[in-house]
Amino acid sequence: MLKEERLKAGLTQQQLAERIGTKKTYISRLENGKSDVQLNTLFRIFEGLGRRVSLTIL
C-alpha cells in the first residue's frame, strides 16, 4: 500500500525519505515488508505523501 501511495504522489523513495527525515533504505524495507513501522513514523509517511491518516480504536 505504501508503494502505491508513493507512486500516486509521484515520489521516489529518496524524495519521500527526504520529506520525512529518514533514509531511502528504510522506505525500501517498509515497502518490501522487511521492517516494522512505528505509528508516529506511519503518520509522518502519509503526511509526506499529502495524505491524512485517522485512527479509530473500538
Cell of 16: 519521500
Say yes or no to pLDDT of 53 above 90. no
pLDDT > 90? residue 54: no
Question: DSSP secondary structure string, 26-53?
Answer: HHHHHHTT-S---HHHHHHHHHHTT---
Can you give the pLDDT at residue 52? 84
The domain locations on the chain are: 2-48
Percentage of residues of the chain with pLDDT beyond 90? 72
Give residue-wise pLDDT tens across range 2-26.
999 999 999 999 999 999 999 999 9
Residue 48 has pLDDT above 90, yes or no: yes
* Class level of CATH domain 2-48: mainly alpha
pLDDT range class, residue 55, cuts 50, 70, 90: confident
- CB neighbourhood size of 36 (10 A): 8
Helix, coil or strand: residue 13: helix
